[in-house]
Amino acid sequence: MGVNAPFTTESQFPPRKYCLNAPNLGLLRTTINLLRQSQEDVLIPLIRSRREVVKRRQQGKTESDKESVVAYVDTLLDLELPDEKRKLNEKEMVSLCGEFLDAGTDTTSTALQWIMANLVKYPHVQTKLYEEIHGIVGPSPQLGEKNESMVMIKEEDLQRMPYLKSVVLEGLRRHPPGHFVLPHTVTNDVELDGYLVPKGAMINFMVADIGLDPKVWDEPMEFKPERFFTNTISGGNGAPDLFDITGSREIKMMPFGAGRRICPAAGMAILHLEFFLANLVWNFEWTAVEGDAIDLSEKQEFTIVMKYPLRAHISARGLSQTQ
Ligand code: HEM
């Protein structure tokens, strides 16, 4: 897809490409940045083309199966504000879509960078993860492998990789991309530990500190994915599926928030992290650049990013193996 072409028509950026997953959101946001166009310039044509799709769907005249898939924008087009009894205008829709672009890209890519940094810093974790992946899907693909389905780890395989899941959870505990959730407002007076939190007060939660509480986590500053294996049923496969990331049973960490306003994409974000991580480690060995220790200092941007972004040597594992 050429970046010089303005994506203003349906044919250049067909609505079916505008589905809600992190790679597509990332592509759209990168496009906006590259074209130095405002979100409004890029998003309004997309919203209008979706309006047409919704109309066709309502009339039972969808042009392809893909048009019957409901996109996020379609739900905004349908929405009526109950108090004001009106539909959203285009600017409001742009703002909501923009929120998705921001919320859905930096968060996942930041989390992935932190996790990769820890795998480079602690090679024994990377080795253990690679051994798990190798045990499930076999040797890394040879360089030049043409058949894409053979060189990508599939979603169903990820479900059989408990250590992978633990590495992702440990990454989100140790380095949550957001150190706070979005600000919330209290809807009624609440008494908490003898303190009154009055109706209308703005509150937030110290997400990062919750995940580092030494009363809850043993050696909280260490990167130890094994800690998530303790939450398993004996006789199980060690899968940390039972760890309650939504906080509906108990809250030990809350990288996605908790309750009614929890990140709506938490499940998808974890799946994406598992997918990228598994494929990056299966295909490549990641090692430190000589003389460049991995520094885990933080810097506040839209999310909390690495102050010194990860630099690593990557070597294709498929070069040194025989199938
Ligand atoms: C590792 C990845 C991610 C993390 C750690 C994360 C974390 C969060 C957090 C902490 C919140 C605020 C919850 C609250 O205020 O209580 C949030 C909200 C939100 N997230 Fe995520 N998120 C991630 C990925 C994504 C992705 C991939 C998308 C979209 C595709 C997304 C969309 C949203 C949206 C729309 C909200 C606002 C929800 C609302 O206002 O009720 N997030 N996320």
Q: What is the pLDDT of residues 307-318, one digit of tens each?
A: 999 999 999 998
How large is the C-alpha radius of gyration of the chain? 22
Region 261-286: mean pLDDT is 94
Neighbours of 23 (CB within 10 A): 13
Between the CA of 21 and the centroid of ligand 1 the distance, in Å, is 13
pLDDT(24) > 70:
no
Q: Which two tokens stand for residue 140?
A: 């890394």
Q: Structure pTM?
A: 0.81
Q: Could you tell me the pLDDT band of residue 98, with boundaries at 50, 70 and 90? A: confident
Any atom of ligand 1 within 6 Å of the Cβ of 169: no
Asked if residue 111 has its Cβ within 6 Å of ligand 1, the reply is yes
Phi-psi region at 81: left, alpha or beta (left = phi > 0; alpha = psi -120 to 50):
beta
Run of H or E residues at 196: strand 195-197
ipTM for the predicted complex comes to 0.99
User: Ligand 1: does its nearest atom lie under 6 Å from the Cβ of 269?
Assistant: yes
Two structure tokens written together for 124: 């024994």
What is the spatial distance between Cα 201 and Cα 224, in angstroms, rounded to a whole number? 37
